[in-house]
Structures are given as structure tokens and as C-alpha cells.
Amino acid sequence: MTSEQIKILTPRQALNKAYLKEKILRSEIDLFKENLYTLFASIDHEEREENVKTLLRDFLNNTYYKNKHFINTLRDVDLVIYLENNQNKAAVLTEVKRPKNKLEMITRDNLNAKAMHELIRYYLEERIDHKNNEIKHLIATNIYEWFIFDAILFEQLFYNNKKLVKDYEHWRDKQKTSGNTDFFYDEIAKPLLDKLDSEISFVYFNLEDYKSLFEQNEKEKENEKKLIALYKILSPVHLLKQSFANDSNSLDRNFYNELLHIIGLVETKEKNKKIITRKPGKERDTGSIIENAILILETENTIAKIKHPEKYGETLDDQLYSLALELSITWVNRILFLKLLEAQLYKYHSGDMHKFLDKNFINDFDELYKLFHQVLAVPHKKRTDLINKKFWFVPYLNSSLFEIGELESDTIKINSLDDNTPIELYKNTVLKDRTGKKRHENLPAMYYLFEFLDAYDFTSEGNEEIREDKKTLINASVLGLIFEKINGYKDGSFFTPGFITMYMCRETLQRAVVQKFNDIYRWKCKTLADVRNHLADRRNTKDILEFNAVINSLKIVDPAVGSGHFLVSALNELIAIKSELGLLADKNGLVLMDYEARVENDELIITCNSGEDIFEYRAPRKPTFSESGIYDSSRMIFVREVQRVQETLFREKQTIIENCLFGVDINANSVKIARLRLWIELLKNAYYTEESDFSKLETLPNIDINIKEGNSLINRFPLNADLKSALKTIRYTIEDYKNFVRNYKNTNDKNEKNNFRRFIEDIKNNFRTEIGNNDPRKKKLSSMVFELHNKYQTERLIDVELSKKDKEKLKHEEKKLEETIKKIREELDGEAGNVIYNNAFEWRFEFPEALDDEGNFIGFDVVIGNPPYIGIEDIVWDLRRFYESIYKSAVGR
């Protein structure tokens, strides 16, 4: 083994980047500093190794593991951290040396020393003799220097080495010349490491390098931040590979339950299945959002104004509840999006930013209505003077999320809700009074919601920081899980955990990208590494833009989109793939050379400086001059680079969402949630535009057109239906249709958007009409009717002389033809009026991106998702029979 094979990582480089950027509590960092100080003060270089082990155990226990994970010796292993607070499974194996014992301790340049030999023996003993497959890390330390190895490395290099395993077993069974440990170290482990030709990576740090940072009086923020990575590298999250708060699979139950309470819902169990329902009668709060909405809907007899009330339920109560739930989800969607926006702007401006979700600023539902529809949905120049005076700092977003929806137009808007009816606080409310005790007074729903959201931390994007308060972090990614649960597991929806969507998207999309390059350039690549090798010699900006276009031509669809989790994972994975291929570039084709995009814990993380730093955007400020009056050009170069990276990430996300990602769901609420998730992903990289002198945010595109409502299993028209005659009739080409959709996505003018929407609907309606007219059955019917009239009825009119036999034959043929005509008419009329088709989704023309220039359906490159979980007994009989007639089914398990 040579020094070139050694790869040394810093704590910041080694940490999961999603965990690295998670804030640490002030109390945690203070305790860490205090215990480090105590550790250093207690070190005696002359002490025996046993005393050193005791010091380390006390430090780890007092800082992280006490009462949670047992730490003790194990046979010859100096210190072991167990998975639980018992001694069942050893997870971290540690070899401890005295600071003066330099002979046996490994170094940065030489790992072939006794401490490493011992770790190899400990690992083999645990894996082979004790069948322990729960080992996470191995550590060698002399208190000052720390070498942390991932157990995966030991598994690959040592446990999977058949010769080593055989030698170990022979040595253990005393079949070697000697059975003592020195023989194993000198005759087995040492020669193995000498001949090793694989890379060995490990985390290294020296506590003495941090000594000045944890002196008791040290309070400087920047210096304290340097301790965060050190704190986290020794934590259970890293060493035991535990999940953490920023994990998109982790649901904060307190947040979830109290949000349900404010809305007016409750989670219950029904036949071992969790369901979301309206609160029972006696527990209902008339001031909750959903009860408030139901009362207004009932008072205004809104059901009578709805076109198809039956789709909301069979009874009036069911219809009122379903309508109120959909409206409530729409409103809470907007509010949560705004909370994320508020937190992001607060971070962009380093805390120098007004809050707008505050009861002192938005004091009733009328003001909230203005914020939604007269501020966020209206450009600054088109806002009234009165609106601009109050909301001058609130950006225009252009998102259709803040347009008055069709259901709101037909029923009620948020300003219809009663402002004054109070709601009882949740029994385990997060709200506290000035003394820190739980509050008990009642609050109006809007005030309650604002204060409730303010009790949590939504600023999950950015670099690692110390959190001075004790607010719980709410990750934007987990909102999809929350809303899918609030939606009530409707229509078989089931939230797919992040580790599954991440794995499925990574495996599928990497293959899809390789296949796409192979198809276009006739390569024979098998992996992304092969593709990267082909791209290595073509690095000019023209080539970079061309290769990006190849990836951007991928079409990915989730036909049961739910909360949009798969599409968000796909979005992140495609950006990571571009980064891995060296194609992540700005609009001019200039690659982001010093940056890496990777997906960790289903989160897209952008790092720079060889993984040392997490990229972080701040609102650019006007050029400044130093005290001597010299223009600070170096700072402006840095600002421009940060701006370029943020713009690139936003543009890449926008391009991929618009061109590559499509989704369908039968549930209207799921469609809204999926759109929200994609808008949130764009919001994470929102930036201030140079054209506005960095005073206004870039507007969001109209991506709602890529996520549509419908039953993706049912379509009236076949996928091979001919669109050519329809195109001639409507005077538009497929390219025109695609351009209308493209322009709709990118316009920020409301009138233009409505015009494009009308053009798109006209085209689709014409397609329906023309394809319907070209139905072979209709043509056959027309021909039969013509034959019936000319051959049979006309002959009867002119009284043609026929024999009795011929008359009977003619009458039989006429009857048979009439029966066939009747059958075809009944079939066509049945389809036209069949409720099965009410929610049919026409893949043929809903997504023009899936059509070629002739209008032929070419489909998608990737179909990915998690199908609805519905028992066959829960599907209505007519629909069940229809599915069985067009789809093959597997029987049994």
C-alpha cells in the first residue's frame, strides 16, 4: 500500500450533506465545547491506556450517548458503541492508544501499524465468529488524532477477501504456526496491507487543531461554526448511521397532529388502516378551517351551483365535507408555500426582512385574500397604490397557485370565512406563553395557524448554523408526506418513502440517460462512466449545450402522481446526473467547474471546494467601496459567481420540470399537492434578477399544465388514432400545439396565459371531435344506415316485384342489419353517457410533448411510480368489469 492509495477526508467532506446543513441547537454546541474542554484538561500523557479509554467513554457518553446507547469494552476491543442501550449489537469498534504510543498508532501517511491490524482482527471476529452485520464504523484514536473508517470499506477489502478470511479462520483455530495475536498482526494483516492495491479512504482530524475554538470564553459565531462538523462526525447520526430531522421520510407527529386540529381533521384507525376524517360531531370546532368552510358552503347553498355534485359524494354531508376539504387543502397549500418563501427570503437577507405571515400584518381573511390574489398574483406595476404601499416587499411569483381556482369561483374564497370564531388550542400545542408554559386560551383559526407555523423553523435550505432557539425544523420535502396523509389516503394513494423514490429514480434514470445517448450517437455505453468518457473530448460550450439538450429530451411520467414525490426525486437525480457527467452548466454553456450536485437523503445538495462547503445563496447588494474609497471588485466577482450558480440551478430545474416531468392523478387534491411540491423545489433556488437591480425575484413558470387530473387507466380514444384530419380541420400543426403549451408555461401575463389556455382547450376539443368522427364504428354505422335506406326501404317504396322466398330473405337481411345498427348505436350512446369515461384521461393529446411532428403518440422514456393500493372489492362493479376487459391481471401472489 502506497501513500497514493490513501484518501483523507475532513469531517465536512465525510458527513451526509443533508445532515451537515441541519442546524444544531445552542445547548448542544455549548455542551460539546464544555466536554471537550474537560477532556483536554484531564489528559495526562503519562497515563495508562485504560485511563485514556475511560476519558473517551465519559466524553462520548456525556456529549451524545448516555441513556441511549451503551458504551463499554468488548473482549479485546477497547471501546464499543452499541446500537441500543444494551450489549446485543456492537456498531462502532474503537482501538485506543496512549498519546505517547506512536509506535503502534497509525498515521496519515502510514496505515500499516498495529492499531490498523487490531481493527482488522476485531472486524473479522465480529463478522465471522459472532455473525454481526450491524457494524457501522471503526475508529483508531489516541485522543488527539482520530481515524474513522466506514465499515463498508472493511467489508469490501477484508471480509470479502477469501484468502484473508481463510487465513483468519486457520489462525483462530490454531492451525497456523502460532495462535497469538502478534502472529496475526505480523504474518497476516501486515503483509496483506503491504500488497493492498485498493484505495483506502477515512476521516481524519486532530482535536488539537480545534483547541482554541472550544475555550470556555470563546463566543465568536464564525469560530463556533467551525465546531459543527466536528460535533456531528462523532454523533449517533453519523457513527451509527441514524436518520435525522432533515430526513424527508421523518414525520414530525406534533406538527402533523396540530395542523390537522387547526384544519378540523383527525387521524383514526379503521380495520387496522389509518384514515383521515372530519372530527366527530361533539369534538368539532366551528372556528376550524374546514368547519368554517362547511358552514359558509351550506349557508350559501353552494351545492346547487356545482355542475357535478355527485363526484363529491352521495349525501349532502359528504359533498359539503369533500368540497370544504379540497378548498382547505388549496388554502393551506398556499399558506405553507408562503411560510417557506418567508423563511427563504429571511435567510437571503440575513434576517433583515419583514415577515408577512403575521397577525399584526395580515389581521383577517380579507387581508389574506389580498395577499393571495392582489399581491402574489399581480406584478408590482399592476398593483394598486394602496396594495403596493403595504405589500411593497412581497414578491410577484406568477404562479397559478395564487390564481383564483375554478372551484373557488364556483363556491367560496378564503375571504368568505368568519374571522372571529375561536378554536380551542390542541391539547399538546406547541404554543407557549412568556414563562414557557403551554398556552390554553382559544384563538381564531388564522391567528392560531400563523402562530403555530411561527413556532417551527422552515429555513432548511443553506449552510450549517447554530440555532439559538429550540424551534423544530420542518423540512420542505416532508410536506408532501403531510399533505398526502391530510388528503386522507384517497383513491388508494400511498406516500412512498424517500429512500425508495431516490433508489428507483437513480437506478432507472441513469439507465435511461445511457440509453438516450446510445440511441442518438450510436454508442455502446453501459454506465454513466462510459458516457462521461465519450464526452471527455468534447468540452466546448456548443457541445455542452448539445449534450444537455439530450438529457432534457427525456420524458418521464408518473401515472399515479400522488404528492409528486417520484417527480421531485427524478428532478434531483437528473441534476445530479448532469453534474456527474460534467454537464451542469449555465445558459451560455459554461460548466459549474468547482461545484458538485449530489442527492443525499432524497435531497439535492450543492457543494463546492471539494465538498468542504455547501453552496448558499444570499441576496446580492449594490457594489460597495472600502473605507479608502476603493471599489471592492473581488467581492463583486464572488457575488456574480454565486448569482450565476443560483440562476443555473433555477433554470435547470425549470427546464427539467417543463420538458421532462409529467404526472396524472385521479384525485384533484393530489394534483394540487404535486404541483406545490414542484413549485417548492423551484422556490429553493429562487433568485433576485439583475434586470431589477436585484430587487425582484425571478417569477415562477406555469408548471401546472404538466400535472393533470384524470384516470390514467381509461381513455376514450385509442393511442393510435389518426390526428392528421383533425390537424387539417383546426389549421394548427403539432408544433403549433407544442408552442402554445411552451408559451403558456413561460408567460407571466395573465391575459396571455388565458389566451394560451383557450387555444390549448380548442385544439384538444377539436381533436376529440375529429377523432370521434373518424371512429370506424361511426363510419360503419353511417354505411349501414345508407344501405338500410337504399337497399331495403327504397325497394319497398318503388314496389319491386319479388318472389315470396326473396321477400322473406330480404326481410331477414333487413332485420339483421337493423339489429346491428341498433347494437352499434347503443354501444356508442353507452360510451358517450357512461360515467366510467367521466374522468377519462386522453394520453393521445393531453401531453403534446409525447407526440411526434405527425401527431403520432411516441410515449415516454420512463414510466415510474407507485400504483394505487386499492382492494379489488373496493372498485365498483362496472369499473372493475371494464378494467378486466382491457387489462391483463395477475392472479394470486
pLDDT bin (cut points 50, 70, 90) of residue 81 is: very high
Residue 687 has pLDDT above 50, yes or no: yes
pLDDT of residue 625: 45
Distance between CA 294 and CA 318 in Å, rounded? 11
pLDDT bin (cut points 50, 70, 90) of residue 548 is: very high
Radius of gyration for the alpha carbons in the chain, expressed in angstroms and rounded: 33
Residue 635 has pLDDT above 60, yes or no: no
pLDDT of residue 829: 66
Q: Which of 658, 447, 461, 635 is nearest to 22 (CA)?
A: 461
Residue 85 has pLDDT above 70, yes or no: no
Q: Which of 44-58, 224-238, 700-714, 754-768 has the lowest mean pLDDT?
A: 754-768
Global pTM?
A: 0.82
Distance between CA 703 and CA 709 in Å, rounded? 14
pLDDT of residue 835: 61
The 10s digit of each residue's pLDDT in 136-176 is 999 999 999 999 999 999 999 999 999 999 999 999 999 98
CA 3, distance to chain mean position in Å, is 40
Residue 356 has pLDDT above 80, yes or no: yes
Q: One-letter amino acid identity for 215?
A: E
Which DSSP state fits 391?
H
Of 667 and 414, the one with more pLDDT: 414
Output the average pLDDT for the chain: 86
Collect contacts of 31-34 with beta carbons under 8 A, ≥24 apart. Answer: 31/62, 31/63, 32/63, 32/214, 32/227, 32/231, 33/213, 33/214, 33/216, 33/218, 33/224, 33/227, 34/216
- Overall average pLDDT of the 324-329 stretch: 92
Grid cell for residue 488: 386522507
Of 505 and 781, the one with more pLDDT: 505
Q: One-letter amino acid identity for 350?
A: S
Distances (CA, A) of 227 to 11, 27, 464, 532, 708: 10, 13, 11, 37, 48
pLDDT of residue 793: 57
CA atoms within 13 A on the CB side of 95: 20
Sheet containing 90-96: order of strands: 6-9, 200-206, 145-150, 137-141, 90-96, 77-82, 71-74
Q: One-letter amino acid identity for 501?
A: T
Q: Which of 601, 316, 632 is nearest to 475 (CA)?
A: 601
pLDDT of residue 774: 64
Q: Which of 166-170, 409-413, 450-454, 607-611 has the lowest mean pLDDT?
A: 607-611
**Within a 10 A sphere around the Cβ of 890, how many other Cβ atoms?**
5
pLDDT bin (cut points 50, 70, 90) of residue 286 is: very high
- Overall average pLDDT of the 13-32 stretch: 88
pLDDT of residue 645: 95
**Torsion from C-alpha of 62, 67, 72, 78, nearest 10 degrees:** -40
Grid cell for residue 42: 484531564
- Overall average pLDDT of the 127-131 stretch: 95
Of 124 and 621, the one with more pLDDT: 124
The 10s digit of each residue's pLDDT in 484-515 is 677 655 555 566 778 888 999 999 999 999 99
Contact 503, 857 (CB under 8 A): no
Grid cell for residue 303: 351545492
CA atoms within 13 A on the CB side of 239: 27
Give the angle 560-566-567 at the CA atoms, nearest 5°: 95
Residue 548: which residues within 8 A CB-CB, separation 6 or more? 578, 583, 585, 589
pLDDT of residue 636: 61
- DSSP string covering 599-653: EETTEEEEEETTTTEE----------B-TTS-B-HHHHHHHHHHHHHHHHHHHHH
Helices 668-683 and 565-580: crossing angle, nearest 10°?
A: 30
At 196, give phi and psi (nearest 5°).
-60, 130
Residue 88 has pLDDT above 80, yes or no: no
Q: Which of 233, 615, 246, 685 is nearest to 467 (CA)?
A: 246
Burial pattern 343-366, b for ≥16 Cβ within 10 A else e, equals bbbbbbeeeebebbbebeebebbe
**Domain ranges (residues) in the chain:** 3-239, 253-488, 498-622+630-701, 752-757+768-886
The 10s digit of each residue's pLDDT in 214-269 is 664 545 666 788 899 999 999 999 999 987 755 555 678 889 899 999 999 998 88
pLDDT of residue 491: 53
Give the angle 130-133-137 at the CA atoms, nearest 5°: 110
- Overall average pLDDT of the 662-667 stretch: 92
Of 296 and 466, the one with more pLDDT: 296
